[in-house]
């Protein structure tokens, strides 16, 4: 940081140094200072895609989703073929529970770059949000081949296989396999993945194992999800499996 401050003192208009310092501020959690550097960079070079995308990211971290989306929408109008902007915009819409719009944007990216797995993952999660489980599974199948060791993909795939209301889509044994692998990759330290493993066991009728892993999930869970985890545990104690509800305003991901 000392070196960056010196460099900016010598040349206040150096965009590269401003962006570097903003990233350091961001990592340190000093978001206001990071935003000040981003705004200074934009004053020098308005509508520079990299800078606008970074600003949108900072806004999103503060849950100012409408502002972040607005900035990226303006940027996309200037260059509709900018895939990075389209991808980031799709992710923001997904987080902001506007899954249909997110899917539209992910489709635009995939039309140009069918192997772009981040767009495929975003679309799969958005389908899951909308309760379109068959479509989500089709995308997760492709993702599992492209990114076989991604714990997030394994977890979400296992969740839908364990909890879909559609009897034809559930596959408890496969869900156990995927959820176990996701737990191994994360060293059994993430409550939401332990929750998925519990749901997978419950789907196969092994409620003792479901209670075991659900209890561990409750023990290490974060406050924001405590009630959901506790409800799942009570369900397994009553020997009832979890079923994901079909809803456009469902959870962004498991």
- Helix, strand, or coil (residue 150): coil
pLDDT of 10 above 50: yes
Range(s) of the chain covered by CATH 1.25.40.10:
61-147, 149-254
CB atoms within 10 A of CB 116: 16
pLDDT at residue 247 in the model = 54
Question: Cα(55)–Cα(67) distance, rounded to whole angstroms?
Answer: 10
pLDDT digits (tens, 9 = 90+) for 107-126: 999 999 999 999 999 999 99
Asked if the model's pLDDT at residue 237 lies above 70, the reply is: yes
pTM of the predicted protein model: 0.85
Q: Where are the alpha helices (DSSP H) in the chain?
A: 2-10, 15-27, 31-44, 49-61, 65-78, 83-95, 99-112, 117-129, 133-146, 151-163, 172-185, 191-203, 207-220, 226-237
The CATH H-level superfamily of 61-147 is Tetratricopeptide repeat domain (1.25.40.10)
Q: For residue range 24-77, list pLDDT tens digits in order.
A: 998 999 999 999 999 999 999 998 999 999 999 999 999 999 999 999 999 999
Quick check: 138 and 128 in contact, CB under 8 A? Answer: no
137 Cβ neighbours under 8 A, 6+ residues apart? 157, 160, 161, 169
| Confidence at 245, pLDDT banded by 50, 70, 90 | low
Task: Tell me how far apart the alpha carbons of residues 196 and 164 are, in angstroms, rounded to a whole number.
Answer: 12
- pLDDT tens digits for 176-224? 999 999 999 999 999 999 999 999 999 999 999 999 999 999 999 877 6
Q: Which CATH class is domain 149-254?
A: mainly alpha
b/e sequence 9-31, b meaning 16+ C-beta within 10 Å: eeeeebbebbbbbbeebbeeeee
* Confidence class for position 249, pLDDT limits 50, 70, 90: very low
pLDDT tens track for 148-160: 999 999 999 999 9
Taking each helix axis as running N to C, give the angle between helix 99-112 and helix 117-129, from 0 to 180 degrees, rounded to the nearest 10.
150
């Amino acid at each position: 940081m000392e070196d960056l401050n010196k460099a900016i003192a010598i040349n206040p208009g150096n965009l590269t140094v401003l962006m570097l310092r903003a990233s350091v501020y961001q990592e340190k959690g000093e978001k206001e200072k990071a935003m000040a550097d981003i705004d200074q960079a934009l004053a020098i070079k308005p509508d520079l895609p990299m800078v606008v995308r970074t600003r949108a990211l900072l806004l999103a971290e503060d849950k100012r989703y409408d502002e972040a989306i607005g900035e990226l929408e303006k940027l996309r109008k200037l260059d509709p073929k900018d895939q990075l902007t389209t991808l980031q915009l799709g992710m923001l819409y997904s987080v902001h529970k506007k899954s249909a719009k997110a899917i539209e944007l992910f489709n635009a990216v995939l039309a140009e770059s069918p192997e772009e797995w981040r767009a495929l993952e975003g679309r799969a999660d958005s389908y899951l949000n909308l309760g379109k489980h068959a479509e989500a599974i089709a995308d997760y199948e492709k993702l599992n081949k492209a990114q076989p060791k991604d714990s997030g993909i394994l977890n979400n795939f296992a969740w839908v296989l364990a909890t879909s209301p559609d009897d034809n889509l559930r596959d408890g044994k496969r869900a156990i396999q995927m959820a176990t692998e996701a737990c191994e990759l994360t060293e059994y330290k993430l409550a939401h993945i332990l929750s998925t493993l519990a749901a997978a066991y419950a789907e196969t009728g092994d409620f003792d194992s479901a209670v075991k892993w659900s209890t561990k999930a409750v023990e290490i869970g974060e406050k924001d999800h405590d009630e959901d985890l506790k409800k799942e545990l009570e369900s397994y104690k009553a020997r009832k499996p979890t079923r994901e509800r079909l809803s456009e305003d469902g959870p962004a991901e498991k």
